[in-house]
Chains A and B, each alone.
Chain A
Amino acid sequence: MSYSPHTTADRAAMLAAVGVDSVEALFADIPATVTPRSFAIPAPLTEQEVRGELIRLADRNRVPEVSFLGAGAYRHLVPAVVSEVIGRSEFATAYTPYQPEVSQGTLQSIYEFQSLVCELTGMEVASASHYDGATATAEAALMACRLTRRDRVAISTAVHPQVRRVVETYCSGPGIDVVEVPADLAEGGSGLTPVEAVERLVDGSVACLIAAQPNVFGGIEPMAVFADAVHASGALLVAMVEPTSLAILAAPGTYGADIVTAEGQPLGIPLSFGGPYVGLMAARMASVRQMPGRLVGATRDHAGRKGYVLTLQAREQHIRREKAASNICTNQALCALAAATYLCAVGPEGLREVADLSATQARHLAAAIETAGLGERRFAAPYFAEVAVRVPDAARRHAALAGEGIVAGLVLDTIYPELHDCLLLAATELTTDQDIARLVAGLEATR
């Protein structure tokens, strides 16, 4: 059965109005080589044949035995209760419902997520979640521009390059300038964002500084100093944080961050080829009307019973149309539920243990490499659970180790072309002493 709301006459009238001959002409800009007609699709297969083909393809996956890869996505233990809860049929939609208030359970789960994000970040209000950390950060840049009525944003180059590209993409439409604040990547440098560069580049025309804590190299930035410096120019501080680190690092709410964003993947979401992940965003209540995305609020009904609603919807595009705070009017409900379940399962103590163990193992890792004379830390600054290590001939050895089932982190010049012969190595609570010993032995063997 097909259903088309438009008659042939309707279509002809619309085509005449826009001045083209055919529906196909509307897609004339798409190169012929990428149109469906150009696809070389083989003949249909039986279910059994498809199954065989998929098994053959799946067998080509190589799951590493040992991995130190991080750079924005981290391998953590996901307690079984997380998949149990998110697998419940009551939650089987990634969307906030179109008639939300009839789905009290969904709204409550989002409200709990928001409350946990507020507790973790030390902020006053959190959104119902965003696609991922990068889009949340880009939305924060736009939000800062609305709040300050300025149209330039500054971003540290020690923010992951992929996040910076998403911010640039979001800023290109509304004509917002993106100013890079160069991190100190010199030989013997800190790997951090220099305060003097922040003071020089964040002037009265800049809406915000976006800095990551820890930064892409794992380094601990002087966020409180940044906050004071940017506030002196009337600008805001957008802190993009790694959420498990907040169990042992200062909460952004305590050092003057105005908007906090995070990639929520480390909170109970598995590494699955880049997603789906979940973006976190929190802010101060005074700026809530400029926040993007959905917000769930708690209230009382006519009989005094607690209930949940989608609140402050006048910010959103179904009411505010083109002037909405964001064109996003959904959230990552399922991943947000996973994050909320994870945080409830591990609790404050558990999260502190995750952060402590991750940081401790990162130190063991760096020390083991240095002690064996295989390399040394590239940057001088204190770090959380990820560390850049200079290792001669890094790319070749990384490839050789991959053949042994060991992912020796990220070859850093793939994302920072100027940083040659460096591996960016991450540790988590899943990193064992044996893993570290295998990495060291592998580096020895490829010397």
Chain B
Amino acid sequence: MSYPEGLHYTKEHEWVRVEGSTATIGITSFAADELGDIVFVELPEVGGSLTQYAGFGVVESVKAVSDLFAPVSGTVTKVNERLRDEPELLNSDAFGDGWIATVELADAAELDDLLDAEAYTQLTS
């Protein structure tokens, strides 16, 4: 199993893609596979603020429910509205159409604390 290069990962199985000061966040394909069929995603509110490693939402599968932990701090600028009706996008395309939210980064230095693809691959293998 390998994961996209250029992303940052947390030990809690979230990923971050940074473009300028905007960070797109989601959960990894590993997390989605472990959860099984995802039936509901509780999205954060646009305008709300996230704190690194604090809970900001919930994913629910047919067999479990897990908190989403913020990989970075910042203000939510967009949420993936498609997930309200198509939560299964997390299973089918965790790193693409299954993105959860975008945030305006509060502190880019927080990224240094996260894992790269190689380290995350090791963590999950």
Contact = CB atoms under 8 A, between A and B. Distances in A.
B40 A323 contact: no
B60 A314 contact: yes
Interface of A: 149, 289, 314, 319-320, 323
A425 B95 CA distance: 65
Nearest to A320: B65
Contacts of B42: 289
Nearest to A315: B65
Nearest to B61: A314
Q: What secondary structure prevails in chain A residues at the interface with B?
A: helix
Contacts of B61: 314
B17 to A, nearest CB: 27
Contacts of B45: 149
A196 B42 CA distance: 35
B65 to A, nearest CB: 4
For the residues of B in contact with A, the DSSP-based class is strand
Nearest to A323: B67
B64 interface: yes
B60 to A, nearest CB: 5
Given A149-B45, A289-B60, A319-B64, 11 more contacts: A149-B48, A289-B40, A289-B42, A314-B40, A314-B60, A314-B61, A314-B64, A314-B65, A319-B65, A320-B65, A323-B67
> Which residue among B48, B60, B64, B65 has the maximum number of chain A CB atoms within 10 Å of its CB?
B65
B40 to A, nearest CB: 7
Nearest to B60: A314
Interface of B: 40, 42, 45, 48, 60-61, 64-65, 67
14 contacts: A149-B45, A149-B48, A289-B40, A289-B42, A289-B60, A314-B40, A314-B60, A314-B61, A314-B64, A314-B65, A319-B64, A319-B65, A320-B65, A323-B67
Contacts of A323: 67
Contacts of A289: 40, 42, 60
A285 to B, nearest CB: 13
A314 B87 CA distance: 15
Contacts of A314: 40, 60-61, 64-65
A205 to B, nearest CB: 15
Q: Which 10 pairs, one residue from A and one from B, show the smallest C-beta to C-beta distance?
A: A314-B65, A314-B60, A320-B65, A319-B65, A289-B40, A319-B64, A289-B42, A323-B67, A149-B45, A314-B64
Contacts of B48: 149
Contacts of A320: 65
A235 to B, nearest CB: 15
Nearest to A313: B65
A115 B27 CA distance: 37
Contacts of B40: 289, 314
Interface centre among B48, B60, B61 (most CB of A within 10 A): B60
Nearest to A321: B65
A320 B45 CA distance: 22
A149 B65 CA distance: 20
A195 B15 CA distance: 48
A315 to B, nearest CB: 8
**Residue from A149, A289, A314, A319 having most chain B Cβ neighbours under 10 A:** A314
A323 B65 CA distance: 10
Nearest to B48: A149
Nearest to A316: B65
